[in-house]
Copies of this chain bind each other. A is one copy, B any other.
Amino acid sequence: MTIIKTVFVTGGAGYIGSHCVLSLLDAGYDVVAIDNFANSVGQKQAASLDRVQKITGKEITFYKCDLLDIQQLDEIFTKHKFDCVIHFAAMKSVGESMKQPLLYYKNNIIGAMNLLEVMASHKCYRLVFSSSCTVYGNPTFLPISEDHPIGNVTNVYGRTKYFIEDILKDVVNSDQKWNIISLRYFNPVGAHSSGLIGEDPTTNFSNLMPYIAQVALGKKASLSIYGGDYATPDGTGIRDYIHVMDLAEGHVAALKKLQSNHLHLQVYNLGSGQGTSVLELLQTFEKVTGVKIPYTIEARREGDIVSMYANCDLAKNDLGWRANYTLEDMCKDFWKWHTMNPNGYKTNDPANTNGTIDNH
């Protein structure tokens, strides 16, 4: 098996992508990244990757490229030789996906298909795919292991991930050369401990942590918690929060696995394995930051899942990976990023970075 040296990262400037690129560089890989900035309203250039270069002291080759532009994609694959691909690029707003399903299906599914097509034509068969716990739909048992049934997904965004997982199965089945790991992320939060990179605020606050940040920063008066009478210890919904740097390290572990094993297609949950309620998260955030978060309990939202957390034994046993950061770490690093960058990447670089990334 060829050594994995150069990794192609789609969506590399995004929240999870940029943290993963950092971990890849730290682990000694060369990175070529692309992004179309669809989710990164604050970024005109790849500001996140510019900062990653500062943090690591290493260079990233970057292209502004949309996966729907299969010709440009092919040119990038012609110019470089990739030993593995990590595919983050996707539209990711659950709410928006329900309003514009065709846009989501088009971007996420055609994007993935174009990538697979170009990979095959350049004989690059190693892939790590960003999947999501949303493919499990409403859980029938907890904690959720990888053999939990998938489908019955409650939103379009999740359905695009589910469809792509099915497409990957068929692609692997049709050609045994493929070697693919699909990572099902639970709820990534937090930021790199430097405070220099993190989740760029967008206009969409359907996720809890960005919403909390808005209240903490005084941009919103109070937090709305949807459902306070669920059959959980404190009545609020339970999720499995995972520090984004743990998630990033999960990708490095996946690369190592792909280097020495021909798995065909293997799925791994990446979560903390801990269920945390909305109120627990809120209390931890308040304790760590000293900032009070006023909240109101609102009616349940239709389609919301009550409780969801991962069994991560398979990733532990197969990849030698486990989540190490605590909920306190997630809150602390998250808050550091937000206080240092109240306007995300539009904030002048707090580290006074004046290097610029090599934008091709």
**A interface list, Cβ under 8 A from B:** 98-102, 105-106, 109-110, 113, 116-117, 120, 151, 156, 159, 163, 166-167, 170-171, 173-174
Tell me the smallest distance from the CB of A168 to a CB of chain B, in Å: 9
Point out which of A106, A116, A170 has the most chain B C-beta atoms below 10 A from its C-beta.
A170
Contacts of A113 in B (CB 8 A): 102, 105-106, 110
Per DSSP, are chain A's interface residues mostly helix, strand or loop, or mixed? Answer: helix
Whole-angstrom CA separation of A98 from B173 in the bound complex: 8
Contact of A101 among B110, B151, B156, B174 (CB under 8 A): B174
Tell me the smallest distance from the CB of A26 to a CB of chain B, in Å: 34
Q: Beyond A98-B174, A99-B174, list 16 extra A-B contacts (CB 8 Å).
A: A98-B170, A98-B173, A100-B174, A101-B170, A101-B171, A101-B173, A101-B174, A102-B113, A102-B167, A105-B109, A106-B110, A106-B117, A151-B151, A156-B170, A159-B166, A163-B163
Contacts of A173 in B (CB 8 A): 98, 101
Q: What is the total number of copies of this protein in its complex?
A: 2
Whole-angstrom CA separation of A105 from B99 in the bound complex: 23
Whole-angstrom CA separation of A105 from B120 in the bound complex: 15
22 examples of A-B residue contacts, CB within 8 angstroms: A98-B173, A98-B174, A100-B174, A101-B167, A101-B171, A102-B113, A102-B116, A102-B120, A102-B171, A105-B167, A105-B170, A106-B110, A106-B113, A106-B117, A109-B109, A110-B110, A110-B113, A156-B170, A159-B166, A159-B170, A163-B163, A163-B166
